[in-house]
Amino acid sequence: MIHYTIFPKDLAGHLFEVSVTVQTPAVEGQQFALPTWIPGSYMIREFARNIVQIRATSAGKAVPLTKLNKYSWQAAPCDAALTLHYEVYAWDHSVRSAYLDQRHGFFNGTSVFLRVLGQENITHIVDIQRPIGNAYAAWRVATALPELEAQRYGFGTYIATNYDELIDHPVALGSFALGSFIAHGVMHDVAINGRVPNLDMARLCVDLQKICETQITFFEPTTHKAPMARYVFLVLATGNAYGGLEHRASCALICSRDDLPVLNARAESEISVSITSTDGYCTFLGLCSHEYFHTWNVKRIKPAAFSPYDLQAESYTSLLWLFEGATSYYDDLMLLRSGVIDEENYLKLLSQTINRVLQGSGRHKQSVADSSFDAWTKYYRQDENAPNAIVSYYTKGCLIALALDLTIRHQTQGQKSLDDVMRILWQRYGRDFYALDQANSGHGIGEAEAEALFEEISGVALHDFFQRYIHGTEDLPLTTLLAPFGIVLSMPQENPKTSLNVRTVQDGNDCKLAHVYENGAAHQAGLSAGDILLAIDGLRVTRNDAQDNLASHLSRYPIDSKVVIHVFRGDELMVFDAILQQDQTPHVNLNRNMQNMQKQTHAAWLGL
Ligand code: ZN
């Protein structure tokens, strides 16, 4: 048994005090390591850099501890139980690491629990301790980690069957708002840290219940059996932040408090107020839906490359287009199928995704398979050139899932769909496999297996599709694919705007070029991302011009006009002549236009 304690020791200094005790340390000297990344967020983050001080003891005496590399240590051989004592600096307000102050705390095991090498597969127990002081008397614990001696939401001991399970249950501390609901027999909790005046928790629980039940039924249409015994949404509400990370029985989310529903005195009949695609609340529910779908797709149906994860180095896979793309497709679709949003709003969300994909010329240079493989150094490390160099396996992956769904439905006359593929993948790689309790034994979808699996399950020949759209960089033929389902894709051309084809952002009092799109007017004139725009044709550009991407400045000029642009690059003044172009921002619209024969395919697809 491996025994940890974690104590919020210095809230002002953001320090957790952690210990790990090994009953039978390795004879040659026990090694310990902290992961360099957290599964689900594909970037090396070097969590061990936050270990401030560390020492080892055994039977009350100090034991020499040697640092082996940037993330691991070795204790000298000892006969009795060995304990490491260390402090972790926790001040990363994201879902990926840990944070602690007088308001609340949060940690992922990957940031705080050193792995005991060679003993990962025995029982791991953690004692989560309350900070000292009356101010923290109302603090509670939110986690999906099973309790050992702790009460539900209480401080005390929690248990995991192995290290892999220990680090897949993030923990939130604080006097959070708590809501609960049952979805197909499984208790779901929503714990929200951060101040949210007049939070309408009841409404949030009603909407989340619909989404969760729809997803459970999606994967198990007969038994309605969820893969976890309990589920927890761990939410941090802030001024303006956004992020989520999936886990096997919980997810960690960060949102803007403005995205959460407000309690007000509504009549009972008005309680189901419609949600529109522009609402922050719609965005938040989409995030919840996304992370919840991962409970099946990536936490249980996995790439073979993640079974098990290499926690110390990059785990490469070319399949993130399936795990993130299909999840991105179903997240909003589940909002529609569960009745939380209507079709008009769903089509708006889908058209936004199409427009995001079409914005970047990087989609012609990088396939989603390559984008998946290089996530570690490209997608997760985007710079100003990203739109010109890479494609997102989220957004294009979403369109690939859509196109696969429509292709399979069309070619099989509605007999099969992507839903069937996901369900069979769940049965083979998730449900039936986990029933054998053999997680981590190398089971998962192999890099070269996806195409054959899709063909076999759907009965549709998909080699050409995989070559062109997944391993190749062709745009998806969405107009053709959507037509049989009664959806018209259009790109309105009236009143084209004049543009430099850049994206601008406010930078203090200035207007800065964030992206210069390839072959756009700014690129051809010689402007660079990072340039501070000073004047166009002698008229001053200010921070306000960043908001409309210079539209009001340029609206007086026809396309092909020549303008003089002054910028600062670094501290040097530079002057450029630019020929203005037609704005290349994509504006795809999706609309219903249904003949009788399309009504059935349309309703089956959208779950209407
Ligand atoms: Zn995701």
What are 250-284's pLDDT values in tens digits? 999 999 999 999 987 455 555 556 788 779 999 99
d(CA 544, CA 509): 8
Q: Please give the distance, rounded to the nearest whole angstrom, from the Cα atom of residue 518 to the centre of ligand 1.
A: 28
Q: Specify the pTM.
A: 0.96
Q: Please give the distance, rounded to the nearest whole angstrom, from the Cα atom of residue 270 to the centre of ligand 1.
A: 33
pLDDT at 322: 98
pLDDT at 53: 97
Q: How far is CA 169 from the centre of its chain?
A: 16
Q: Please give the distance, rounded to the nearest whole angstrom, from the Cα atom of residue 220 to the centre of ligand 1.
A: 21
Q: Please give the distance, rounded to the nearest whole angstrom, from the Cα atom of residue 291 to the centre of ligand 1.
A: 6
Q: Please give the distance, rounded to the nearest whole angstrom, from the Cα atom of residue 246 to the centre of ligand 1.
A: 7
Q: Please give the distance, rounded to the nearest whole angstrom, from the Cα atom of residue 41 to the centre of ligand 1.
A: 9
Q: Please give the distance, rounded to the nearest whole angstrom, from the Cα atom of residue 39 to the centre of ligand 1.
A: 11
pLDDT at 594: 85
Q: Please give the distance, rounded to the nearest whole angstrom, from the Cα atom of residue 294 to the centre of ligand 1.
A: 7
Q: Please give the distance, rounded to the nearest whole angstrom, from the Cα atom of residue 418 to the centre of ligand 1.
A: 18
Q: Please give the distance, rounded to the nearest whole angstrom, from the Cα atom of residue 245 to the centre of ligand 1.
A: 7
d(CA 48, CA 423): 39
Q: Please give the distance, rounded to the nearest whole angstrom, from the Cα atom of residue 393 to the centre of ligand 1.
A: 10
Q: What is the pLDDT of residues 550-601, one digit of tens each?
A: 998 999 999 999 999 999 999 999 999 999 999 989 999 999 998 877 889 9
pLDDT at 57: 98
d(CA 363, CA 325): 15
- Contact in structure between 247 and 168 (CB atoms under 8 Å): yes
**Residue bearing tokens 């399949």:** 319
DSSP code, position 433: H
d(CA 40, CA 51): 22
pLDDT at 20: 98
Q: Please give the distance, rounded to the nearest whole angstrom, from the Cα atom of residue 327 to the centre of ligand 1.
A: 6
Q: Please give the distance, rounded to the nearest whole angstrom, from the Cα atom of residue 498 to the centre of ligand 1.
A: 36
Q: Please give the distance, rounded to the nearest whole angstrom, from the Cα atom of residue 189 to the centre of ligand 1.
A: 20
pLDDT at 266: 58
pLDDT at 461: 98
Q: Please give the distance, rounded to the nearest whole angstrom, from the Cα atom of residue 289 to the centre of ligand 1.
A: 10
Q: Are strands 115-116 and 61-63 parallel, antiparallel or unpaired?
A: unpaired
Q: Is the bond preceding 308 in cis, omega lying within 30 degrees of 0? A: yes
Q: Please give the distance, rounded to the nearest whole angstrom, from the Cα atom of residue 26 to the centre of ligand 1.
A: 38
Segments of the chain with pLDDT less than 50 = 265, 439-440
Q: Please give the distance, rounded to the nearest whole angstrom, from the Cα atom of residue 150 to the centre of ligand 1.
A: 31
d(CA 274, CA 254): 23
pLDDT at 490: 94
DSSP code, position 305: G
pLDDT at 323: 98
Q: What is the pLDDT of residues 334-368, one digit of tens each?
A: 999 999 999 999 999 999 999 999 999 999 999 99
- Contact in structure between 499 and 549 (CB atoms under 8 Å): yes
Which contiguous run of DSSP H or E holds residue 156?
strand 156-160
Q: Please give the distance, rounded to the nearest whole angstrom, from the Cα atom of residue 599 to the centre of ligand 1.
A: 32
pLDDT at 270: 53
Q: Are strands 98-100 and 2-10 parallel, antiparallel or unpaired?
A: unpaired
Structure token pair of residue 111: 């940031």
pLDDT at 282: 96
Q: Name residues with Cβ closer than 5 Å to ligand 1, which is an ion.
A: 324
Q: Please give the distance, rounded to the nearest whole angstrom, from the Cα atom of residue 108 to the centre of ligand 1.
A: 17
Q: Please give the distance, rounded to the nearest whole angstrom, from the Cα atom of residue 332 to the centre of ligand 1.
A: 12
- Contact in structure between 100 and 134 (CB atoms under 8 Å): no
pLDDT at 264: 78
